[in-house]
Chain A
Amino acid sequence: MTCLEFERDLPECVEGQPSPEQQAHLNSCPTCSGLLLDLNSIASQAKMLSAAEEPSAAVWNAIEERLRSEGLIRRSEPIYLPVEAKPSFMQRWRAAWLVPVAAALAVVAVVKLYHPTRLNNDDAKQVQQPIASTAPVKNASAKRKPALSHEDQQWLSTVAARPPAQLAKFRSDLDQANAFIEDAQESLQQDPNDVYMQQMLMNAYEQKQMLYELVVDDSSH
């Protein structure tokens, strides 16, 4: 069994029993076994999410008041219905609200748990170079997970339906683009007139723009 074939059958393996053929591949392939381990962790965390505490009634009341004030729901409806009554808009909305939150947290968990090896042998050797004192900074930037902006989160949500491994790669690329932007910005804070670093910053934004465009283009198929 190849890695591609294993990835195709991956959904059946997550939290399930791998077939003997899949198990044989897992035993011989650290990448796929690591991926399965990560996905199982995510699946178990997602279950914990569903059991998490629901916000207090005060929070729901405040949201409801806000929706009423904006005219999105009408006052004629009773605020609270008996438990056995037909669920109200608000009750349905409460449950729906948890879905994207859980999805977003699951995405974050995917990315936090799945780190494909990115540094090549040359990078590893670089630590041995005479200027090795600066090399760890690179490693730090490669591992760094810059905070996601609102736009980043929106973008990730548009590709949330993609296969987990692909999603993790997108997030990894996004982190790399953001790390590039952050590092270039930090350098420019030290020397705002550094024309080359200005060019690097523009290039970093160009990479991020490409990432946004290509992935969203692909999602539209």
Chain B
Amino acid sequence: MSTAKCAAKFVTVLALAGVAFAAGESRKDLHFKVGKHPAISINNPYGPVVVKAGAPHEVIINAILHSDKVEIDQSQSHNRIDIISHLLQGADQYSGVVEYQVLVPADASLSIHSENGPVHAENLHGDLALEGGNGAMEVLNCGDGHVHVRTLNGPVTISNVRNGHVEVVSMSGDVSLTSVSGPYVAVNSNTGKIEYAGDFGGEGEYSFTSYAGNIEAVAPAYASIDVTARSSQGRVDSDFSLEPKHTPFYAKAGSYFSGTLGKAASSVKLMSFSGKIHLKKRQ
């Protein structure tokens, strides 16, 4: 390697180190000992929060603070841990960013509020409450606990979630549910699309409603459902040949369908004001 190339590399490394130093990025690692079913709350205005299942009785939080304009407030009271990204004077959406990587016991209950950053929760069995403004919300491989998601504009993806209540409220964020089943699954959207792909199992109650967003549900031929779909101003279609049933409302043809499939074990309601609704058969 020539001397010039070596010098260039050295200068580049120095420059990068200088940039990192100037940016004031710092790392903070937190460890907490907890008992069974701990409750963990994280409030992070800017930046991602990723939570995964780790060792029992231990909560490990790795945080990267993007500047000295934000600090982490932490408190533990018995089995409850509160983490807050505390914005200091002059913090903004760039300097206020904190990136969280969190390992919690699988049976932990989580409450996460993130104004802008994405939130990801995986392999957990406690209750999850996720709130956000614009960031994506993702829940994967969770079960046996309730999942509550509230978002303004961020997309919501929930996959492989079973045996719990799943409730999503969204203004304009699209909501996608894949292999989600349980005693109660409800999505309430304004303009965001609602997509469901699963078997409507668990003898549960499924309620997907939107104001202007389209609703698309894909179910297998063996699905056992009692389904009602209605859109006041949008088109409504079904790929299934349903056993017709009585509906407790008046609706014009093409804007609703109602009927049963199989033993009608689960109740499915697909309702929109002006969005399209399509119940598709999985190929």
Contacts and interface: CB of A to CB of B under 8 A. Distances in A.
Interface of A: 8, 118-120, 122-123, 126, 129-131, 134-135, 137-138, 141-142, 169, 173, 176-177, 179-180, 183-184, 187, 191, 194-197, 199-200, 203-204, 206-207, 210-211, 214-215, 217-218, 221
A138 B233 contact: yes
Nearest to A170: B152
B18 interface: no
Given A118-B172, A138-B273, 12 more contacts: A8-B94, A129-B235, A134-B233, A138-B212, A141-B273, A176-B190, A196-B249, A197-B249, A199-B209, A210-B171, A214-B131, A218-B133
Grouping DSSP codes into helix (H, G, I), strand (E, B) and loop, the B interface class, with mixed when no group exceeds half, is loop
Contacts of B273: 138, 141, 180, 183-184, 200
A176 B191 contact: yes
Nearest to B96: A221
B267 interface: no
Contact of A210 (B150, B193, B214, B255): B150
Given A218-B133, A221-B115, A122 B214 contact: yes
A126 B271 contact: no
Q: Which of B212, B233, B254 has the most CB of A within 10 A?
A: B212
A191 B191 CA distance: 24
B249 A195 contact: yes
Contacts of B274: 134-135, 137-138, 141
B152 A196 contact: no
A169 B212 CA distance: 17
Given A138-B274, A141-B212, A221-B115, A203 B171 contact: no
13 contacts: A8-B94, A120-B193, A123-B212, A131-B234, A131-B254, A138-B212, A138-B274, A141-B212, A141-B273, A179-B211, A187-B232, A206-B188, A207-B190
Contacts of A191: 249-250
Given A195-B249, A199-B271, A211 B171 contact: yes
A126 B235 contact: yes
B153 interface: yes
B69 interface: no
A195 B248 contact: yes
A173 B171 contact: yes
Interface in B190-244: 190-191, 193, 207, 209, 211-212, 214, 228, 230, 232-235
B87 interface: yes
A62 to B, nearest CB: 43
Nearest to B276: A126
